[in-house]
Structure 1
Amino acid sequence: MNNRELGRIGEEAAVRHILSQGMKLLARNYRFGRMGEIDIIAQDGDTLCFIEVKARRGDRYGTPAEAVLPGKRKTIIKVAQAYTARYGIHDMPLRFDVVEIYMAADGKIRSVEHIRGAF
């Protein structure tokens, strides 16, 4: 299984998870020009959530959340600012989350961890 397939399966698991938590899915793979992309945008009550999904087969090189490096965080924040400006969202609380997906070698989901307010 290549990394693209691993990511797709992980993202599907993350969407199922956030929906099971009562969150409302607003967008997937939201891209703002060449600036970058946010995996999932969702609403949790009155809070707008920008969610990065990281799927891994193990934690040999650190946890999935640790793979969201400062440069990626900066990009997500910039795209989130562009999203809120584009849709005129000015008075809504924002949150940046990471959903960690641990998978077996065959692609089966071992666990899902939703880290709210990860950065």
Structure 2
Amino acid sequence: MTVGAGGGADMNKARSALGKYGEDLAARRLVQAGMTVLERNWRCGRSGEIDIVARDGDALVVCEVKTRRDASFQHPMAAITPEKAARLRGLAERWTQAHGGAPPGGVRIDLIGVLLPRRGAPAVEHARGMA
């Protein structure tokens, strides 16, 4: 079965490219803020994926990145539901277990929202300690 122009496969590629671009911008913002990016797109079986793992001083930061186009339905910062926050906490725990335990500064979960306007520079918002 083939998918014609504008079909599902094309939409998934576009969404994937949009997400990667947003994650690239988010990682750059974290580095500019003095953090060290330790890992990107860490997968834990079927439990999910952590977009970015970073170190902020002696704290570990698990970052969820949401990227939206200007005309999209929902602002990226509104995308974290209580269920998604719980899933991120579980993934953060699994990451620390797989990497020698939590650092002295503990673990923080941040959200980075990337809004891409039709024209002009992207807007990157970083909310610390969201979940």
TM (norm. structure 2) is 0.81
Q: CA offsets per residue over residues 30-66 of structure 1, 9 Å max, x none?
A: 1111111110000001110000000111375332121
Please identify runs of 4+ aligned residues in structure 1 that moved more than 4 A. Answer: none
Question: Which residue of 22, 33, 39 maps to 2:51?
Answer: 39
Give the structure 2 partner of residue 101 of structure 1.
114
Matched, 1:54 2:66: yes
Please provide the CA RMSD for this pair: 1.9
Q: CA offsets per residue over residues 46-100 of structure 1, 9 Å max, x none?
A: 1100000001113753321211222221211111111111222144411000011
Q: Distance in 2 between matches of 1:19 and 1:48?
A: 14
Identical residues among aligned pairs (%): 37
Matched, 1:74 2:86: yes
For structure 2, list consecutive stretches of 5 or more residues without a partner in the other structure. Answer: 1-10
How many pairs are equivalent?
Answer: 118
Question: Which residue of 12, 33, 52 maps to 2:24?
Answer: 12
Q: Distance in 2 between matches of 1:35 and 1:103?
A: 29
Q: Distance in 2 between matches of 1:97 and 1:116?
A: 5
Matched, 1:114 2:126: yes
Which is greater in Rg? 2
2:117 maps to a residue whose letter is A
Q: Distance in 2 between matches of 1:80 and 1:98?
A: 13
TM (norm. structure 1) is 0.88
Q: Which structure ranks higher in relative contact order (CA pairs < 8 Å, sequence separation ≥ 6)?
A: 1
Q: More strand by proportion, 1 or 2?
A: 1
